[in-house]
């Protein structure tokens, strides 16, 4: 099997050419972490040996099913500290630039359990808007390095301003807002709205992004 360009990170070997190709065609509901981990040389070699060259390069269902099986095995045996580091770096936007120099972190907004950032793909000449959701230790009020959501929400051909990026965040959060409002429907509606804004738009250090981008937020609400 022909080897792609590989890089070692945290003791793991990633075949980054395959990763770059995969990100270009990743659907918005695909778990980004899984796609990154599927670029591991260990996983690719095992899948290739299992399904054979024809199934592997023809992109058959057999190949994809086998990838999922091997990925589960890797998640079970990976060093917990390395796994935490990968989750943490994907959350803060540092993982992709570590894996490939053509990726550059342009904008990063941390909103407690959520992160939103813009990655420039210099080779693909586009900008990825990546958003993640992590677990939170409510008792000790601190983050847990475990991602619950991780996906590319949208792509930009031109670099957006921070205000334009925040508008994209508001749009991307619509499903999350609906889910939150439904889950907490026992709470009065206006209180739920305020609680959602505090949950989704305030950083762990207390920075209120809605206040920071008030004009963008107000215009977004007027357009609904």
pLDDT tier, 4 (very low <50, low <70, confident <90, very high otherwise): low
Residue 139, Cβ neighbours under 10 Å: how many? 6
- Average pLDDT of the segment spanning 123-133: 93
- Average pLDDT of the segment spanning 172-185: 95
CA distance 5 to 208: 42
pLDDT tier, 204 (very low <50, low <70, confident <90, very high otherwise): very high
- Average pLDDT of the chain, as a whole number: 92
pLDDT given at position 28: 75
- Average pLDDT of the segment spanning 149-174: 96
| Res 149 pLDDT > 60 | yes
CA distance 34 to 37: 5
| Res 3 pLDDT > 70 | no
Of 6 and 89, which is predicted with more confidence?
Answer: 89
Give 49-107 pLDDT, tens digit per residue.
999 999 898 888 999 999 999 999 999 999 999 999 999 999 999 999 999 888 999 99
CA distance 111 to 183: 20
Give 187-199 pLDDT, tens digit per residue.
999 999 999 999 9
Sequence-separated (6 or more) residues with CB below 8 Å from residue 217? 166, 170, 210
pLDDT tier, 210 (very low <50, low <70, confident <90, very high otherwise): very high
pLDDT given at position 184: 95
Of the candidates 81, 66, 101, the one whose C-alpha atom is nearest the C-alpha of residue 11 is: 81
Give 166-175 pLDDT, tens digit per residue.
999 999 999 9
pTM for the model: 0.91
- Provide the residue ranges of all domains of the chain, joining segments of one domain with +: 1-78
């Amino acid at each position: 099997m022909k080897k792609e360009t590989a890089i070692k990170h945290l003791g793991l070997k990633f075949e980054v050419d395959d990763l770059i190709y995969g990100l270009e065609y990743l659907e918005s509901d695909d778990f980004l972490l899984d796609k990154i981990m599927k670029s591991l040389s260990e996983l690719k070699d095992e899948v290739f040996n299992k399904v054979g060259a024809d199934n592997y390069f023809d992109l058959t269902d057999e190949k994809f099913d086998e990838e999922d099986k091997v990925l589960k095995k890797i998640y079970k045996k990976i060093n917990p500290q390395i796994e935490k580091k990968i989750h943490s770096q994907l959350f803060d936007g540092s993982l992709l630039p570590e894996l490939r120099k053509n990726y550059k972190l342009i904008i990063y907004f941390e909103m407690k359990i959520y992160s939103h950032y813009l990655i420039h793909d210099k080779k693909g000449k586009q900008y990825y808007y990546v958003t993640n959701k992590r677990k939170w230790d409510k008792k000790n009020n601190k983050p847990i390095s475990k991602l619950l959501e991780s996906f590319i929400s949208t792509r930009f051909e031109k670099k957006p301003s921070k205000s334009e990026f925040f508008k994209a965040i508001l749009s991307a959060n619509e499903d999350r807002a609906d889910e939150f409002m439904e889950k907490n429907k026992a709470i009065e509606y206006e209180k739920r709205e305020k609680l959602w804004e505090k949950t989704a738009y305030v950083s762990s250090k207390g920075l209120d992004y809605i206040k920071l981008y008030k004009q963008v937020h107000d215009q977004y609400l007027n357009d609904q």
